[in-house]
Amino acid sequence: MRILLVEDDALLGDGIRAGLKLAGYTIDWVRDGEAARLALLDHAYQACVLDLGLPRRGGLSVLQDLRERGNPLPVLILTARDSSADKIAGLDAGADDYLTKPFDLPELQARLRALLRRAGGTTTPTLEHAGVVLDPASKRVTRNGEAVSLSAREYTLLLDLLRHKSHIRTRSQLEESLYSWGEETGSNTVEVYIHHLRKKLGADFIRTVRGLGYQLGGPA
Ligand code: CA
């Protein structure tokens, strides 16, 4: 799960990034509206946390630009302004949810989980496949009822595959989901994490679609 964080306040941005990273998300953080617009053009994200008051280009304009291009990306706006006019403008411009500053990080995380759930077309909080259950709220993973211990990257990869259950995920899509900008990506790291997941969840749990990528295998 890769999320674009757009926030010009250094302290707040740092706190949000750290909190969301702990929750298992991959975070790209930009500090102005123009950088946000370009990032949204260039990368595939699963959600965007968008401040409204930003240098170079306002958050509302970033959002309008995104929607004019027909991009349905889930967007949660952050606003310091308490006026309902700002919230209405944000929602009317295509935001999916909003939070007024100051807010608690756990609430932001819960709202993001709800957004991602709705975007994934599911209403249940947990994701399941072939006896494996992942609960994004607690980050707990079980297989046939038994707890499975995963590293942060393994967890992120599993979450991505479960969210795109009916799709084949290419290696570059999985890399996008695993790494933020500037992070070193080894040449075969996706394969290594797939290998670890197969060891922990069963050899048939993830199948290789030759020449295309990976997809969850076995009985749904
Ligand atoms: Ca701001």
- Helices 171-178, 152-163: crossing angle, 10 deg rounding: 130
Q: What sections of 43-151 are H helices per DSSP?
A: 59-68, 84-92, 105-119
Q: What is the pLDDT at residue 123?
A: 67
CA of 81 to the centre of ligand 1 (A): 10
CB under 8 Å to 57, separation ≥6 — which residues?
Answer: 32, 33, 34, 36, 37
Could you tell me the distance, in angstroms and rounded to a whole number, from the CA of residue 78 to the centre of ligand 1?
8
CA of 98 from ligand 1 middle (Å) equals 14
Q: Residue 200: helix, strand or coil by DSSP? A: helix
Q: pLDDT tens track of the chain, all 220 residues? A: 899 999 999 999 999 999 999 888 999 999 999 999 999 998 889 999 999 999 999 999 999 999 998 899 999 999 876 778 888 899 999 999 999 988 999 999 999 999 998 887 776 788 999 999 999 888 899 999 999 999 989 999 999 999 888 899 999 899 888 888 777 777 678 999 999 999 999 999 999 999 999 999 865 5
> In angstroms, what is the span from residue 174 Cα to ligand 1's centroid?
31
- The pTM assigned to this predicted structure is 0.75
pLDDT of residue 219: 59
Residue 161's pLDDT is: 94
Sign of CA dihedral 43, 117, 125, 143: negative
Ligand 1 centroid vs 13 CA: distance in angstroms? Answer: 10
Q: What is the 3 state secondary structure string of 122-154? A: CCCCCEEECCEEEECCCCEEEECCEECCCCHHH
